[in-house]
A and B are shown apart, each in its own frame.
Chain A
Amino acid sequence: MAESLASRSAFSCLLVAVGNGRGVTAIDRDGLGLATIAVRKGSRNALSQRIRDEFRIELPGGPTRAAAGEVAFAGIAPGSWLAMRDQGGNAFAASLAQSTAGLASVTDQSDGYAVLRLTGPMVRAALAKLLPIDLHPRAFQVGAVASTVASHMGVTVWRLPDTGGAAVFELAVFRSLAESFWHALAEGAAEFGLAVGRPC
């Protein structure tokens, strides 16, 4: 096989710290394997069983995210989930399609979305300038998922367990919007200091 083909993150050359401090830290989640998985007619129970067997994950019925190890399923519509696997790449969708064949339609979205992880003491204040949804800890708990608009750009956001006392969110936007999204984020987060963290 020839040498592997160059890969370019949607955020490549974009993530530059803005302002002073580390009120918000952004981390590029390039490499995250992503796939939409939609249940075939009449297969909800069988699909849930298959996901349970395969990943030890209970497919959520609403807009929440269930995770085990490197894999997670986030409910994005009735009967539809965004499945993700850390460093899963395009191979994740292919293997998921195989293991749920006949029960679900799986579509690779690893390149369709650009995903940022955002955390830090001021992350909610910064996100309040982007997202028209309530991110209060009571309203948007760990595991919550929402598809909404940020500054006229479609975005799916989910909350991960807190780290270092700060809330952690991941935001997925259409890849082509990565630059506009970063600008909108950086504009609002600059006053708190927007730092760039090492990819994980």
Chain B
Amino acid sequence: MRIQCPFCGERDLSEFTYLGDASFVRPDPDSADAGERFYDAVYLRDNPSGPFEELWYHGSGCRGWLRVRRNTRTHEILGVELARPAGFEA
């Protein structure tokens, strides 16, 4: 598999580390049901068959965290963007 890093260009899978579901949003730690919400966010993940948005880490390249849209059935990569929104370092 080859992943198109938005900064480095397309690279071999071996340069990347997989994390998982990119839809993870850290719940509000001060909410009344924070415990339950964190539990859901940390443990109860979808594992869809087909297109899935995932977080990958380009640890052997630019150390960028990437949002990768991948078809989990075919390993087809459908899109890649930096997880860090544009403009935060600019």
Given A41-B88, A44-B89, A78-B89, verify A148-B60 contact (CB < 8 Å). Answer: yes
Chain B: interface residue count, which band? Answer: 10 to 19
Residues of B within 8 Å of A133, CB to CB, are 11
Docked complex Cα distance between A78 and B61 (Å): 11
Give chain A's interface residues, CB within 8 Å of chain B: 38-39, 41-42, 44, 62-63, 75-80, 132-133, 146-149, 154
Given A132-B15, A148-B60, A149-B15, 13 new contacts (CB under 8 A): A41-B89, A63-B7, A63-B8, A63-B62, A75-B7, A77-B7, A77-B63, A78-B62, A78-B64, A78-B82, A80-B62, A133-B11, A149-B14
If over half of A's interface residues share one DSSP class (helix, strand or loop), that class is named, otherwise mixed; here it is strand
Contact A147 B64 (CB under 8 A): no
Q: Residue B29 at the A interface, CB < 8 A?
A: no
Docked complex Cα distance between A38 and B11 (Å): 23
Given A148-B11, A148-B15, verify A79-B61 contact (CB < 8 Å). Answer: no
Docked complex Cα distance between A193 and B9 (Å): 32
Contact B14 A147 (CB under 8 A): no
Contact B89 A147 (CB under 8 A): no
Contact B15 A79 (CB under 8 A): no
